[in-house]
Structure 1
Amino acid sequence: MSQGAAMVSSNFEWERLPPDLQQSILLLLPISTLLVCKSLSRSFLRTIRSDSFISAYSSLRRHSCRREDVLLLLFSDFGQHDLATAFLPSRSRCLPIRLPPSIAHIHASDGSLVVASTTNGFGGDMVSDVLCNTVTPIPPRVPHSYILALIEEEASPNFKIVAVDDKNSVRHIKVYDSRLCRWEIKGMLAIHYAMLGNAVVLDDLLFVLGQLPDHLLAFDPDTRTLSVVSVDLPFDINFHLLVFERRLFLVGGMVEVGIVVRIGIWELDLGDKEWRVFCFMPDEVFQEFSGNDLGLFQTTGRLGYVCFCNTRWSIVVAFDMALKTWSWPPKSDMVPTLGRSWLGHALELPVKMLRT
């Protein structure tokens, strides 16, 4: 049987299934697979685009996250083509993503959204669903403030943005709520830190790394309190927080004479108030990744998929926390090497992509 005849036969068998059974089968698939299914037959397209399917799929998405739909934004070329190289770990594929031309710098991301500045200096900000090409302007922040986190509300178009006012000796934590369309003071950062690292949400708390002094901080937006978590950080350079399976992880490096000699991931045991080793990057992987002279690396991840980047040479290695496997993403020239910059944000494919 020819390939065309086999496809016709397969489509015919699918059409014989009751519509409710067709929908039940498709509801089991991740968005990344459904997008492929849409191109295979009109029957798939009709079912996937239907209001009943979108509603049912959205309801399921509220209760479970699909790791197959994680998309990691690796590199960008803001200066020339507004392109980004995105990595789909579940399929080990690199994809080109066209960024809104008004984006100058992405501050934070969550779900399918990013919050970004629209000028190279201080100016307006916007929230964008870069995968669906939508842009929502937001009121300006106060001068001398910076954004810590974007929090997308589940099953809702609403979101919150957490920022820190760095103008005064006592720094305020401010939150923008899209439902209210305004910024509000939600707490204070009493200790002065030279830098605040990335932030993640776990059990309604916002965890963030404070650097110089090095602390793990927890912010409760309901009680407006920010506290230092009484646990020592486990290594020389503390780079990136991750959340996976409702657990908190920390990526870091061990340094000798200013050079990173080992990269590891630690898991926080809040009960015993200690970090426990989750894994180390294997020596053979580290040697190829570091080039024997690694001064700095960057990390991004979501739902257990993590990418590490040696920004000096644009070398990227991927890690699957569920399987504890390491791999090399396919090389891509979508974004030219000249002018390429590390983007380092993680998204999830949104349900509304199924309507396109």
Structure 2
Amino acid sequence: MPIVAQSGANQDHHPHDDDDDEGESSNNANGILDLDPTLWKNIPHELLEKVHLCLPLVSLARFRSVCRAWNHIVFDEGFIRSRHNFTQKPWIVITSTANSISIYDTGFETWLRLPIPFNATNLHVVAAAGGLLCFSNAWFQWPGMAVLNPVTNSWRRLPPMSTWMITTVGMVYNDTTNSYKILVCGRLEDHSMITEVYDSATGRWAPGGIPSAAKKYGGDTLVWRDGIFYCLTFPFSTLSLIAYDLNPGTWHEVPVTMPSPIMSPSVVVCNSSLLLVGGVEEQDGEFSIQIWELEFQTLVWEEVETMPALLCREFESRMVPSKPFSCFGTGEFLFLTIPSNTAYLPALVYDLKLKTWSWWPSQGFPPQLPEINIGRSSGFSFEPRLHALV
């Protein structure tokens, strides 16, 4: 399945074998330019590589199939090192089917459909890091996992874990060693708690530390900051922030007072800042959505933004009863998404740098959500990379 821009990508054109007598380019009956192969096949390798360096990654992934020479250029170690120096704006994954994923390219502001090279029936993205996506049938008994680089279409099915039921998942990529680790929190079949860590360098799962109490065992998405995973407790009625230090493999509760009460709380990492996002019932009965940042020196949540009242009322009017909104982030952007039962997931985007709000673009969004995604509103951001190894 080719990579397709949902808004209408150009089809690749192949030059005709029957060239003009003059050997020059010409327009055919459809108005498409025919390129002289005797000219284009002699482009210097160095010039072709420079052109490839300037292409968006989605085009590189498509052009790999043109010929062996182009495929060799894209995966040449020198090319990958040069490409690594290019700034790539993040992609957002929010829905998937059995054979493709829908991704939003924040740089080109368009939706893409990328193939999944394995059968992903009942699977969905549960974590992302370093250009890789982690798929799982989490929330089913005896879950399995697979890791995919959607740019290179390379993937790996992970060995079975001991976890019987997954509660939450986190992932981190090490650029120095080109390896990754996946943290899985869950329960065994006897409902006792378990933490496992998969290391791609060893290809094995290893046991992690166990939280001291069940109510302190997270139920929210794990986010990564400076060597530590963070998540909120579940249930939210006893809201607290807990952390997993990957090096010693230990859990601990962060001694910070949580703003209370909060509806649909989420922790997010943007530009190394740990943020808390949630809804608050004001004293006058008005509903508001606020953003706090954790000051690590004082361990105090500092309020940094409140959604404008008119926008908040519009956001609230679109919310589905009994289904919370959720939040995820990347770089300088926060995404607040609202669950949908059938189709487009309404979402607000907050620019932390410009301090502006805007609605998630709907053009190109999949017309129908697959059943596995109905009612879910979580999303994952990642920076697509050629060099990320599965």
TM over 0.5: yes
- Cα 1:294–1:264 change in 2 (3 A) is farther
- Equivalent position to 2:131, from 107, 112, 137: 112
1:1-356 correspondence to structure 2 within 5 Å: 19=46, 23=50, 31-32=56-57, 35=60, 49=74, 51=76, 53-57=78-82, 60=85, 66=87, 68=89, 70-76=90-96, 78=97, 82-99=99-116, 100-105=118-123, 106-117=125-136, 121-129=140-148, 131=150, 132-146=152-166, 147-167=168-188, 171-193=193-215, 195-212=218-235, 213-235=238-260, 236-237=262-263, 239-255=265-281, 261-291=287-317, 295=321, 296-312=324-340, 314-328=345-359, 329-336=361-368, 339=371, 341=374, 342=376, 344-352=379-387
TM-score of the aligned structures, taking structure 2 as reference length? 0.70
- Cα 1:54–1:156 change in 2 (3 A) is farther
- 1:33 shift after superposition: 8.5
- Distance in 2 (alpha carbons) for counterparts of 1:238 and 1:311: 12
- Distance in 2 (alpha carbons) for counterparts of 1:37 and 1:165: 38
Tell me if structure 2 keeps the 8 A contact 1:83–1:96: yes
- Post-superposition Cα deviations, 1:224-277, rounded to whole Å, max 9, x if no partner, equal 2211111112241353222222221122111479x9922222111011211112
Tell me if structure 2 keeps the 8 A contact 1:94–1:330: no
Letter paired with 1:93: T
Tell me if structure 2 keeps the 8 A contact 1:110–1:347: yes
Q: What is the DSSP-based 3-state SS (H/G/I as helix, E as strand, rest coil) of the residue aligned with 1:94?
A: strand
- Distance in 1 (alpha carbons) for counterparts of 2:213 and 2:107: 41
Identity of aligned residues (%): 19
Q: What is the DSSP-based 3-state SS (H/G/I as helix, E as strand, rest coil) of the residue aligned with 1:287?
A: helix
Letter paired with 2:349: A
- Distance in 1 (alpha carbons) for counterparts of 2:76 and 2:62: 17
TM-score of the aligned structures, taking structure 1 as reference length? 0.76
Tell me if structure 2 keeps the 8 A contact 1:72–1:300: no
- Distance in 1 (alpha carbons) for counterparts of 2:369 and 2:145: 28
Unaligned 5+ segments in structure 1 are none
Letter paired with 1:209: L
Tell me if structure 1 keeps the 8 A contact 2:218–2:231: no
- Distance in 1 (alpha carbons) for counterparts of 2:58 and 2:149: 20
Q: Name 2:8's counterpart in structure 1.
A: none
Letter paired with 2:233: G
- Distance in 2 (alpha carbons) for counterparts of 1:268 and 1:30: 38
The answer to which structure has the higher helix fraction is 1
- Cα 1:157–1:125 change in 2 (3 A) is farther
- 1:156 shift after superposition: 4.3
- Cα 1:98–1:316 change in 2 (3 A) is farther
Tell me if structure 1 keeps the 8 A contact 2:211–2:251: yes
- 1:201 shift after superposition: 1.3
Aligned length: 334
- Cα 1:173–1:58 change in 2 (3 A) is farther
- Distance in 2 (alpha carbons) for counterparts of 1:47 and 1:230: 52
- 1:52 shift after superposition: 5.6
Letter paired with 1:323: L
Larger RCO (alpha carbons 8 Å, 6+ apart): 1
Q: What is the DSSP-based 3-state SS (H/G/I as helix, E as strand, rest coil) of the residue aligned with 1:90?
A: coil
- Cα 1:169–1:98 change in 2 (3 A) is closer
Deviates most, 293-302 or 336-345: 336-345
- Distance in 1 (alpha carbons) for counterparts of 2:254 and 2:138: 36
Q: What is the DSSP-based 3-state SS (H/G/I as helix, E as strand, rest coil) of the residue aligned with 2:85?
A: helix
